[in-house]
């Protein structure tokens, strides 16, 4: 029986697994973590979508009613986002280029918020 003071025996070189330590994994650790997270989220989304589609096939399935604000608010939200993105891109060239886009995005965003608050009251 080996004593605790003695170092463990070294394995022969031809068994593998040791290596010189010079080899590196080609992908950075952060990218590997991001790819694993992306795989998990994609699998979860696919499982929930599959359950939703299977559940729709049952005879007691009832779809949710669509609120009256849905379509116009979606349009306002999309236009406001488009205008603010245009303002951001043009502002990189100078504020005067993106000023009109920024104000139109602000107006569309305020119109969206006003519609939401008026409907809630």
pLDDT in tens, 34-74: 999 999 999 999 999 999 999 988 988 888 888 878 889 99
Q: Which residue has the tokens 């005879």?
A: 59
What is the structure's pLDDT at 66? 81
Q: How far is CA 2 from the centre of its chain?
A: 55
- Give the percent of the chain with pLDDT over 70: 83
pLDDT per position as a tens digit, 44-53: 999 999 999 9
Name 112's Cβ contacts closer than 8 Å, sequence gap at least 6. Answer: 73, 76, 77, 80
> Are 33 and 25 contacting, i.e. CB atoms less than 8 angstroms apart?
no
pTM attached to this predicted model: 0.51
Sign of the C-alpha dihedral computed for residues 67, 71, 73 and 78 taken in this order: positive
Judge whether 108 and 79 are in contact, CB under 8 Å: yes
How far the first Cα of the chain sits from its last, in Å, is: 83
């Amino acid at each position: 029986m080996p004593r605790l003071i003695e170092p463990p025996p070294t394995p022969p070189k031809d068994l593998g697994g040791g290596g010189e330590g010079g080899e590196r994994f080609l992908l950075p650790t952060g990218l590997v973590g991001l790819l694993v997270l992306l795989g998990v989220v994609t699998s979860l989304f696919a499982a929930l979508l599959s359950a939703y589609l299977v559940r729709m096939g049952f005879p007691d399935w009832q779809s949710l009613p669509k609120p009256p604000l849905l379509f116009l608010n979606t349009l306002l939200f999309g236009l406001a986002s488009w205008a603010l993105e245009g303002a951001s891109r043009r502002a990189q060239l100078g504020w005067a280029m993106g000023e009109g886009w920024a104000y139109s995005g602000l107006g569309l965003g305020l119109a969206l918020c006003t519609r939401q608050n008026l409907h809630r009251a």
